Structure 1
Amino acid sequence: MGSTSAGSAPAPASARPLRLLVLGGTAWLGRTIVDAALARGHEVTCLARGASGDVPEGATFVRADRGTSGAYDPVVGGGQRWDAVVDLARDASHVRDAVAVPEPASAPFALVSRGSVYADTAPPGAAESAALVAADEAAHGGAKVSGGRAVVAACGAGRALIVRAGLIGGPGDHTGRPGGWPLRFARAAASSEPDPVLVPDVPGLDVQPVDVRDLASWIVLAAERGLSGTVNAVGERHPLADHLAAARRVAGHTGEVVAVDEAWLEAHEVGPWAGPRSMPLWVPVATHAGFGARSGGAGRAAGLVPRPVDETLRDVLAWELSRPGPTGPHGAGLEPDDERDLLAAAQDR
């Protein structure tokens, strides 16, 4: 399956419609997976609490709390069989409970994991065989490690697919990380004289966000093909500076760009990655050069084809600008007053 970028033909519908059980399906990635499966002609049932909303039209919604006894009763028994299962759980106990149920566990079972399972973020190019964090279920990465091991133990290596998703971007991204930069440049470009924008200057730091639509489509493809194994599902790797240039390009910003290094950012109490008073996508290069530079070879070999980053950034910018309410940073970034003060300090160097 190729990407759905402009100019490429949409993938044909699956030859054999699947009965797909999605454990989740009401939040961002889950809904996108369900949309992709429905578009391919599959019959989709979602089991979830519904705390994030409803499921896409066309899917069957089974409301259940996976932390309670009998949560899976509506989707087992009575001759029900599933052709594939996709689990988006963060809680390892929910994963263990799911693979203990005969009907879900007898089907190819894909667990959406994350890159936070890796113990060492320093070396670039690390593959799926790299060392993992301890299976500490109180921590997000550790819980994903524990959940992945439960799936492999219950389903066997031939039916278990562990999808280690990298940073996800695209329309609907509420984190403010990949979408934060085109939004910031667009706000600066909207002034009568384009405002300057403060950016991190971090040579050697790469990023590789994967578009949520490409990730979701590939997970459905993997279910159709019965793929198994462990796969880093990441976008194309490129320097952070190139990513920022693409964000500026899609936003049409022609004003000044003020680049500051890590030492300057730390001295001025600007945080990395996310949260208040932060620089989205920046992580300390000495310890995190591999954080956004994992090997994506296994994913490419398995059919994951990322669209051009400009398309992802253009579409997430359109989504950001369509959101109701304030258009400032959310989840990550600098408030306008903070950035003005920091720009003044940087320009006075």
Structure 2
Amino acid sequence: MASILVLGGTSWLGGTVAARAVALGHEVTCLARGESGTVPDGARLVRADRADPAAYEALAGPVSWDLVVDVARQPGHVRGAIAALAHRATHWVFVSSCSVYARHDEPRADESATLLPALGADEATPEQYGEGKVACESAVAEGRAGAALIARSGLIVGHGDPTERFGYWPGRFAQAARDGGAVLVPDHPNQQVQWVDVGDLADWLVSAGLSGTTGTYNAVGAPVPLEHVLDAAARVAGFHGEVVRADGETLDRMGIQEFMGPRSLPLWLRDPEWQAFMDRSGAAATRAGLASRPLETTMSDALAWEEQLGTDRARSKAGLDRHDELDVIAAISAGSAQPVSERSISD
């Protein structure tokens, strides 16, 4: 049994890491405010706000950990953790992001690709997410003298996904299978899509961390054409109806965004400068033991989560509301697709 400290542990990835560690029989402590949720059964919660300089006093004492896992996005939080705890941990894992890279138009680029400049401030805005993660990586690398595992995660998907991007597709196909209507998809079949299942990532962070794996890795699976992802979503949802394909110009005229956000088609990327955002080399992580479950398994887990949330809910984080989608399909099918500002969207 190992002693593991998760800096977080009450939200999605951190909670999954804590749950997997508990399931493996480890002693798990989670340091968190406790406002995002509860820790998994079997884990101990230590309440603290990492924005408070005294946050780590709650962990005072001679206690050390076999592994610390940090999923923070704010440089100040990571710098504080390193200063307080780096000398009290045998192994250290920091979850970063592929958003640290300066370019996203280089297919299969590996970990040597150019990074964004590191953020000097302690707090990153959402627009500074990548620069903030670079600063976090630097703090970990310096504070641990290179003795850390830095996992640059790609698109994290699966059960519990709060972003609604991956799960939108099996959820929408399931909804359409019930109502008998068509589904709108981007006509960009060969665009690459890449992800990592939250369960696979959590398993690897714990196992690789405890085994002493160090270095920086793109924590991603193999890229797959968008068409294959959509086909898998339709299969697990039991959808056999009509699919309406729309090119980028048509979708742009209709006011439909790419990738995420309100009135979007998730996972679709039109901008040439972002075509390799989900097409990076994960070879190093694979050699280090990161395994990927079958697409259909991940898609089924995503569908179960969508069904739990309700597939007919309003879409604000990613995707189209169903009535909006059907209006768009009708306009496209009638050959009268107009900019969204020039047509009526039903309430």
1:151 aligns with 2:134: no
* Equivalent AA in structure 2 for residue 231 of structure 1: Y
Residue in 1 aligned with 2:2? 18
Find runs of 4+ consecutive structure 1 residues off by over 6 angstroms: none
Distance 1:119 1:82 in 2: 34
* Equivalent AA in structure 1 for residue 11 of structure 2: A
Aligned-partner SS, 1:198: strand
1:162 corresponds, among 150, 155, 160, to: 150
Query: How high is the TM-score relative to the length of structure 2?
Result: 0.91
* Equivalent AA in structure 2 for residue 178 of structure 1: F
Aligned-partner SS, 1:108: strand
Distance 1:68 1:250 in 2: 46
Consecutive unaligned residues of structure 2, counting only runs of 5 or more, are 336-347
Output aligned runs, 1:303-342, within 5 Å.
303-323=289-309, 326-342=312-328
1:134 corresponds, among 114, 117, 122, to: 117
* Equivalent AA in structure 2 for residue 33 of structure 1: V
* Equivalent AA in structure 1 for residue 151 of structure 2: V
Following TM superposition, by how much is the alpha carbon of 1:126 offset from its aligned partner in structure 2, in angstroms? 0.6
Distance 1:217 1:106 in 2: 19
Consecutive unaligned residues of structure 1, counting only runs of 5 or more, are 1-16
Residue in 2 aligned with 1:55? 39
RMSD: 1.5
1:110 aligns with 2:93: yes
Distance 1:321 1:99 in 2: 40
Following TM superposition, by how much is the alpha carbon of 1:133 offset from its aligned partner in structure 2, in angstroms? 1.2
Following TM superposition, by how much is the alpha carbon of 1:103 offset from its aligned partner in structure 2, in angstroms? 5.3
| Identity across the alignment (%) | 47
**Would the aligned equivalents of 1:99 and 1:151 in 2 still touch at CA under 8 Å?**
yes
**Would the aligned equivalents of 2:86 and 2:143 in 1 still touch at CA under 8 Å?**
no
Following TM superposition, by how much is the alpha carbon of 1:106 offset from its aligned partner in structure 2, in angstroms? 4.3
Following TM superposition, by how much is the alpha carbon of 1:273 offset from its aligned partner in structure 2, in angstroms? 1.1
Following TM superposition, by how much is the alpha carbon of 1:255 offset from its aligned partner in structure 2, in angstroms? 0.7
Distance 1:105 1:118 in 2: 31
Deviations 1:107-140 (A, max 9, x none): 3211111111111011110101111112134411
Residue in 2 aligned with 1:71? 55
Distance 1:74 1:93 in 2: 18
* Equivalent AA in structure 1 for residue 70 of structure 2: D
**Would the aligned equivalents of 1:76 and 1:103 in 2 still touch at CA under 8 Å?**
no
Distance 1:44 1:29 in 2: 15
**Would the aligned equivalents of 1:205 and 1:285 in 2 still touch at CA under 8 Å?**
no
* Equivalent AA in structure 2 for residue 80 of structure 1: V
Following TM superposition, by how much is the alpha carbon of 1:329 offset from its aligned partner in structure 2, in angstroms? 3.4
**Would the aligned equivalents of 1:171 and 1:315 in 2 still touch at CA under 8 Å?**
yes
* Structure 2 CA distance for partners of 1:281 and 1:103, relative to 1, 3 Å: closer
**Would the aligned equivalents of 1:204 and 1:285 in 2 still touch at CA under 8 Å?**
no
* Equivalent AA in structure 2 for residue 180 of structure 1: Y
**Would the aligned equivalents of 1:125 and 1:293 in 2 still touch at CA under 8 Å?**
yes
Deviations 1:224-267 (A, max 9, x none): 21111001111221001110111011111111101111121112
Residue in 2 aligned with 1:188? 176
1:202 aligns with 2:204: no
* Structure 2 CA distance for partners of 1:219 and 1:73, relative to 1, 3 Å: same
2:103 corresponds, among 120, 137, 157, to: 120
1:93 corresponds, among 76, 84, 99, to: 76
Aligned-partner SS, 1:299: helix
Deviations 1:256-288 (A, max 9, x none): 101111121112210011111100111125121
1:46 aligns with 2:30: yes
